Structure 1
Amino acid sequence: MERKNEILELSFELALEIIEYSELLESNRKYVIARQLLKSGTSIGANIREAQSSESRADFIHKLKIAHKEAEETDYWLLLCEKALSYPSPSVQMKANLLSIQKLLSKIISSSKLK
């Protein structure tokens, strides 16, 4: 029986939400932010997935740190969308999912450094 990998699942779900929200932004002609958000929001999960087949603990930590940076960038774009009056607001759930991923990444990175 395969073990559930929470961070992989959460980041995949977030990527799907980001795709949907980016499409909403594009339908509102907010192309630049939509593309920036699409790139950073989907790369979180891609980097986490890549870390699963890392060559060493240092490589694993490095890939997760990249994912964490992408999560920070995604948070920035979502905050801009939330505060800009002419933009549709991101969902509370999407922001909560991103926060969960950020917290999990921090925990995994710090506990991996201790080993």
Structure 2
Amino acid sequence: MIANQLLKSGTSIGANIHEAQNAESKADFIHKMKIAAKELEETKYWLILCEKAASYPFKPNLKSKINELGLIIYKILSSSKAKYLFTLLH
């Protein structure tokens, strides 16, 4: 169960980022990146459960990798939102 959920949320991050690359508009790009961020948070949750459960293997480097990816996604979102708002106001 946990492994399936982790696989789904983890691969959804990449799928949404890939979709964002072909977004129809800046708003669509931001929307798809927000979905990727939500999937990232879900993946963090499943990794925490893996870490706590004795019956699941856990690799600590996965936690640091997902945190690094989160920093990248949130930076992309913040700069994209700022540019989008600037465009709307000017």
TM-score category (smaller protein) = 0.7 to 0.9
Alpha-carbon distance in 2 for matches of 1:86, 1:43: 24
* Counterpart among 74, 77, 82 of residue 109 in structure 1: 77
Q: 1:88 maps to what in 2?
A: 57
* TM-score, length of structure 2 as denominator length: 0.88
* TM-score, length of structure 1 as denominator length: 0.69
Alpha-carbon distance in 1 for matches of 2:25, 2:18: 15
Moved over 2 A (4+): none
Cα offsets for 1:35-54 (capped at 9, x unmatched): 11110000100000000000
RMSD: 0.8
Which residues in structure 2 correspond to 1:72-83 (within 5 Å)?
A: 72-83=41-52
Identity %: 64
**Code of the aligned partner of 1:95:** K
* Counterpart among 53, 71, 90 of residue 22 in structure 2: 53
Q: 2:65 maps to what in 1?
A: 97
Alpha-carbon distance in 1 for matches of 2:54, 2:8: 23
Unpaired runs of 5+ residues, structure 1, are 1-31
Give the CA deviation at 1:113.
0.8
- Name the count of aligned residue pairs: 83
